[in-house]
Amino acid sequence: MRILLVEDSERLQTYLSKGLRMAGYAVDSARDGEEGLWLATEIEYDVVILDLMLPKLDGISVLQQLRASGRDTHVLILTAKDTVPDRVHGLEQGADDYLVKPFAFEELVARVQTLVRRGYGTKKSEITVGDVTIDMAHRVVRRGSADLRLRPREYALLELLALRKGDVVSRTEIERHIYDEQADPVSNVVDSAMCILRKKIDVPGAPSLIQTKRGMGYRLQGPGL
């Protein structure tokens, strides 16, 4: 899932990006409001994490202009402004969530995850495909009671397919949501990632849970459907 982090504190930006990437998100970041607004308008992020006090263009203006441009990306405001009027104003201007600094990183991840799920229209935190269960709250994948060990990006790929379970997800879409601007997705990166993922979740001999629709993309579907 791809996230935009608009935050003017350099250190906070560094560590939050690092932490979010470790949690399996693709993270782009912006240092000021103008850059943040440009990125958020250009790219379809799953979640935008937005500071309010930003140089050049403040967070509320970024939010207003983003909404005015027709983007309904989920926005989480992350700020040191903690008064009730501030929170209410932020939510009224179109934010989906509001988190006050200082915060627990874990909580930030949980809230981001909730917003991601909401983006795909599900409130369940577990998705089951065949005998594989994807636990989005704990970011683990299990077959039966055994945990499958996935790298963050492999997990993100599976989660995306799971959230769109039954749909064909195009390669471009996968590239857009799983890779941030730091990664350089060469044409076959999705194919090779898909190959590794299949090896990890499929039972040898059985038909694969991930089907390739040539020229269209991939589909995650349980057996018998």
Partner 1 sequence: MKSIRRHLTVLLLSGLVVLSSSCGVGFYFFVRHALTAQFDRALHDKAAAFAALSSQNDEDEDERSVPLDELPTPVKKSMAQHVAGAELSEVEQITRDGRLFYKVEVLRDGAEWEFLLGADGQFLGENDEFGFAFDKAALPEFQPGQNPEYYQVWDEDGETVAKSPSLEGDRLTPPSGMNDGVTFFDTSLPQEQVVRAIAFPFVPRRQDGDLAVPAGERVVLVIARTRAELDHTLATLRYSLLISGLLLLVSAAIMVRFSVQSGLRPLAALAHQATSIDANTLSSRFSTGPTTEELQPICSRLNELLDRLQSAFDREKRFTSDVAHELRTPIAELRSLAEVGLRSAASMHGQEEVSSYLDDVLAIATQMERLVNSLLMLVRCESGQQLINLDHVQIDALLDESWRSLAETAQERGLIVHFQIPEDVAETTDPVLLGAVLTNLLSNAVAYTPRGGKIQVSLTEDRSGRTLQVVNTNNQLTQEDLTHVLEPFWRKDQARSETSHSGLGLCVALRLTTLLGMSLTVDLPSTSLFRVTLNLGKLHSVETTNCD
Contact between 119 and 136 under an 8 Å Cβ cutoff? The reply is: no
Which residue from 61, 64, 81, 196 is in contact with partner 1, where contact means CB under 8 A? Answer: 81
Residue 171 C-beta: closest distance to partner 1, Å: 29
Tell me the C-alpha distance between 192 and 199, whole Å: 11
22 binds partner 1 (CB under 8 A): yes
Q: Is 215 helix (H, G, I), strand (E, B) or coil?
A: coil
44 binds partner 1 (CB under 8 A): no
| Tokens representing residue 60 in the block | 């509320």
41 binds partner 1 (CB under 8 A): no
Interaction residues for partner 1, span 100-159 (CB under 8 A): 100-106
The verdict on whether omega for the bond into residue 85 sits within 30 degrees of 0, i.e. cis, is no
Interaction residues for partner 1, span 56-75 (CB under 8 A): 58
Which residue from 55, 166, 222, 223 is in contact with partner 1, where contact means CB under 8 A? Answer: 55
Helices of type H across the chain: 10-22, 33-42, 59-68, 84-92, 105-119, 152-163, 171-178, 189-201
Tell me the C-alpha distance between 178 and 174, whole Å: 6
Residue 216 C-beta: closest distance to partner 1, Å: 36
Other Cβ atoms within 10 Å of 11 Cβ, number: 8
Q: Sign of the CA dihedral 148, 150, 156, 157?
A: negative
Nearest to 187 by CA among 171, 201, 203: 171
| Contact window for partner 1 (CB under 8 A) among 81-89, 118-126, 137-145, 215-223 | 81-89
Give the residue with the Cβ less far from partner 1, 22 or 195: 22
53 binds partner 1 (CB under 8 A): yes
Residue 156 C-beta: closest distance to partner 1, Å: 16
Contact between 143 and 201 under an 8 Å Cβ cutoff? The reply is: yes
34 binds partner 1 (CB under 8 A): no
| Contact window for partner 1 (CB under 8 A) among 49-57, 112-120, 199-207, 213-221 | 49-57
Give the residue with the Cβ less far from partner 1, 100 or 189: 100
Residues binding partner 1 (CB under 8 A): 8-9, 11-12, 15-16, 18-19, 22, 32, 51, 53-55, 58, 80-83, 100-106
